Structure formats: C-alpha cells, structure tokens
C-alpha cells in the first residue's frame, strides 16, 4: 500500500520543516505526524504530548537503552531528540501515512533500519534566506543562532543523500510537492 509508507522529512534548521508538516496535517488530516521526545525545555506555547514529549535526560537514556527509540540524536550539540518507535510501527501497520520530521543524523539512522522509507530533503531557496529566517523567528538567542547555523552548513551538504529535494520557497508549493512524494492524492 503506497500511501502507508513512511516519509522522513529532514533539512537544516529554520528551513520551515515544522510549517510544511503542519500544513500537510491541516490539509491532509489522515497523515500522522510522529511526536518526538526531547530533553529540550518547552518554548512558550509548546504543549507536552502535542509538539513534543518533554522528558528529562535520564528518562530519555532509559528509553534509548530499552530500544524504544526508532532513532535519536543530540541536535546542535545540545539536547537529545528521538522518535518513539512503537507509535510509528503501529500507525504504519494500520496503513496510516506517517511523517517524521527529524534532523540529518536521525534520518541516516532510519535509512539503516527502514530503507524503504522515502527520504525528503527540505532546502531553503538560498543560504541568505535561511539565515534571515533563523534570525527573524527570534526563538533562539545569538549564541544558539550561531550554533544552529553551523549545524545548518553541515546539513545542507548532505542533500545528495536524500531521495528528493523540495525547495521551500512558497509553503503551499512545498506542501504540494511533499504530498506528491507521500503518494497522497492532491485535493483542493
Ligand atoms: P527544535 O528545537 O527547533 O524544535 O528542533 C531542533 C531540531 O531537532 C530540528 O532540526 C528538528 O528536525 C530536530 N528533531 C526534532 N525531533 C527530532 C527527532 O525525533 N529526532 C531527531 N533526530 N531530530 C529531531
């Protein structure tokens, strides 16, 4: 069943992965977006269990040791993020099209364990645009912005590892392209 495949969406910080995947969910409620666990503290407005599952580091490490993470990574050399394995397996088994929005290190791990997944790289229209988006959203302080930009340079260099690249110039268009990659039928 093509529509029940796993799609992995990766790409550098601030490229708009969150916006595009939220747009997919808004237009295609049948898509299930995995909720990651993280050791990062919640940002204002983020809800536990909705945006992330916020857990302390010792709990995170226990879950990794128990094999409960499909993949995990320490992102921007800072906090740990991981995809709880069971909900992904359950949704795929039930035929639900499933989307993971994760970083490059995580995408590489999923490629090892689930090579049939579709790997999509979301790219910015340009480096300048990426930098402007990161600085403009104002959710990170200057030091964190620099750290994220350093990671972004490494992540951009990995584009060729992916099955397909989608340039996020206009959100609606990027969503359409992702929908097509997921094998879903576009509708108005
Ligand atoms: P943020 O702190 O801005 O929410 O996310 C930082 C980075 O962590 C983003 O690049 C995001 O894609 C990545 N990320 C979020 N969830 C996961 C996950 O479950 N696994 C991995 N490997 N990366 C994740």
- Condensed to tens digits (0 to 9), the pLDDT of residues 56-86 reads 999 999 999 999 999 999 998 789 999 999 9
Question: Collapsing DSSP states into helix, strand and coil, what is residue 122?
Answer: strand
Task: Return the ligand 1 atom nearest residue 13 CA.
Answer: 10
> Does ligand 1 have an atom closer than 6 angstroms to the CB of 23?
no
> Does ligand 1 have an atom closer than 6 angstroms to the CB of 82?
yes
Buried b (16+ CB within 10 A) or exposed e, 85-98: beebeebbeeeebb
Question: Measuring from atom 22 of ligand 1, which residue has the nearest CA?
Answer: 106
Predicted confidence band at 183 (pLDDT cuts at 50, 70, 90)?
Answer: confident
Question: Measuring from atom 10 of ligand 1, which residue has the nearest CA?
Answer: 103
Q: What percentage of the chain has pLDDT greater than the value 70?
A: 96
* Pocket test residue of 75, 113, 148 for ligand 1, highest count of atoms within 8 A of CB: 75
For residue 186, what pLDDT is reported? Answer: 63
8 A C-beta contact, residue 178 and residue 24: yes
* Full strand arrangement of the beta sheet holding 6-10: 32-33, 98-101, 6-10, 118-123, 164-167
In angstroms, the CA 102 to CA 73 distance is: 9
For residue 2, what pLDDT is reported? Answer: 46
> Does ligand 1 have an atom closer than 6 angstroms to the CB of 121?
no
Question: Measuring from atom 17 of ligand 1, which residue has the nearest CA?
Answer: 102
Predicted confidence band at 1 (pLDDT cuts at 50, 70, 90)?
Answer: very low
**pTM recorded for the entire structure:** 0.92
- Cα(182) to ligand 1 centroid in Å equals 20
Class of domain 6-182: alpha beta
**Averaged pLDDT score across all residues of the chain:** 92
* Pocket test residue of 15, 103, 134 for ligand 1, highest count of atoms within 8 A of CB: 103
């Amino acid at each position: 069943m093509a529509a029940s495949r796993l799609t992995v969406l990766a790409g550098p910080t601030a490229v708009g992965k969150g916006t595009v995947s939220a747009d997919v969910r808004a237009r295609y409620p049948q898509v299930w977006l995995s909720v990651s666990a993280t050791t990062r503290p919640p940002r204002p407005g983020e809800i536990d269990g909705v945006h992330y599952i916020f857990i302390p580091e010792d709990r995170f490490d226990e879950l990794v040791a128990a094999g409960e993470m499909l993949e995990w990574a320490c992102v921007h050399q800072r906090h740990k993020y991981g995809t709880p394995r069971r909900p992904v397996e359950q949704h795929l088994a039930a035929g639900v099209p499933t989307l993971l929005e994760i970083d490059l290190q995580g995408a590489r791990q999923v490629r090892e364990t689930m090579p049939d997944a579709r790997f999509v790289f979301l790219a910015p229209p340009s480096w300048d645009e990426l930098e402007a988006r990161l600085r403009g959203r104002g959710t990170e302080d200057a030091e964190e912005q620099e750290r994220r930009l350093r990671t972004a340079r490494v992540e951009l260099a990995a584009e060729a590892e992916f099955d397909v690249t989608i340039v996020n110039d206009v959100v609606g268009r990027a969503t359409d392209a992702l929908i097509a990659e997921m094998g879903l039928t576009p509708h108005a």
